[in-house]
Amino acid sequence: MERTNTFTVNDHPSLRKLADNCARLWNELNFERRQAYIRYKKFSWHPKHLYEKYAPIIGSATAQQIINKNNEAWRSFLALKKLEMKGRLPPYIAKISMPRYWKRSGRRKLRIIIRNDCYKFDEEYIYLPKGLKLKYKGELKWHGRKGRLEIIYDDTDKVWRGFMTVKIEKPPIRGGNKPLYIDLGVINLATVWFEGLRQPIAYSGRTLLADWWYWTRKIAKEQSRLAKVNKRKTSRGLRKLYRIRLRKFRHAVNAIIKTIVENVYVLGISKIVIGKIKDIRNNNHSSTKINAIINNFWSFNYIIRRIKEKAEEYGIEVIEESEYETSSTCLRCRSKNVTNKGRLFKCYKCGLEAHRDAVGVLNIARLYGGEVNRVVAHPLLLRWNGMMWEPKRVMNNRPMRTLEARISRL
374 touches 367 (CB < 8 A): no
Asked if the model's pLDDT at residue 351 lies above 80, the reply is yes
**Buried b or exposed e, range 206-232, using 16+ CB within 10 angstroms:** eebbebbeebbeeeeebbeebeeeeee
- The whole-model pTM stands at 0.85
In which element (H, E) is residue 113 found?
strand 111-114
DSSP string, 34-98: HHHHHHHS---S--HHHHHHHHHHH-HHHHHHHHHHHHHHHHHHHHHHHHHHTT---TT-----P
Phi, psi of 160, rounded to the nearest 5 degrees = -90, 130
Closest CA to 202 of 211, 194, 193, 191: 191
152 touches 232 (CB < 8 A): no
pLDDT, tens digit, 9 for 90 and up, residues 120-137 = 999 899 999 888 999 999
Report angle CA 303, 92, 319 to the nearest 5 degrees: 40
- Report pLDDT for 410: 43
- CA 40 from chain center: how many Å? 38
- Report pLDDT for 82: 93
- Mean of pLDDT values over 78-97: 89
Asked if the model's pLDDT at residue 7 lies above 70, the reply is yes
Q: Which residues contact 189 (CB under 8 A, 6 or more apart)?
A: 203, 204, 205, 208, 253, 256, 303
Asked if the model's pLDDT at residue 407 lies above 80, the reply is no
Least confident window among 53-62, 82-91, 247-256: 82-91
The sign one gets for the Cα dihedral 335, 341, 346, 348 is negative
Q: How many CB atoms lie within 10 A of CB 296?
A: 11
pLDDT, tens digit, 9 for 90 and up, residues 207-219 = 998 999 999 999 9
Closest CA to 190 of 249, 248, 250, 253: 253
pLDDT, tens digit, 9 for 90 and up, residues 113-124 = 999 999 999 989
- Report pLDDT for 276: 83
Residue 405: pLDDT band with limits 50, 70, 90: low
Asked if the model's pLDDT at residue 341 lies above 70, the reply is yes
Report angle CA 374, 375, 380 to the nearest 5 degrees: 155
Give the span between the Cα atoms of 278 and 322, in whole angstroms: 8
Give the span between the Cα atoms of 310 and 319, in whole angstroms: 14
Give the span between the Cα atoms of 363 and 150, in whole angstroms: 46
pLDDT, tens digit, 9 for 90 and up, residues 360-383 = 999 999 998 878 888 888 899 999
**What is the amino acid identity at position 326?**
T
Asked if the model's pLDDT at residue 398 lies above 70, the reply is no
CA–CA distance from 324 to each of 199, 202, 275, 279 (Å)? 22, 20, 9, 11
**What is the amino acid identity at position 130?**
K
Average pLDDT, the chain: 88
Strand partners for 380: 201
pLDDT, tens digit, 9 for 90 and up, residues 236-286 = 999 999 999 999 999 999 999 999 999 999 998 999 999 887 656 555 455
81 touches 30 (CB < 8 A): no
- Mean of pLDDT values over 289-307: 78
Q: What is the DSSP secondary structure assignment for residue 22, as one 8-state letter?
A: H
Asked if the model's pLDDT at residue 399 lies above 70, the reply is no
319 touches 333 (CB < 8 A): no
- Report pLDDT for 289: 65
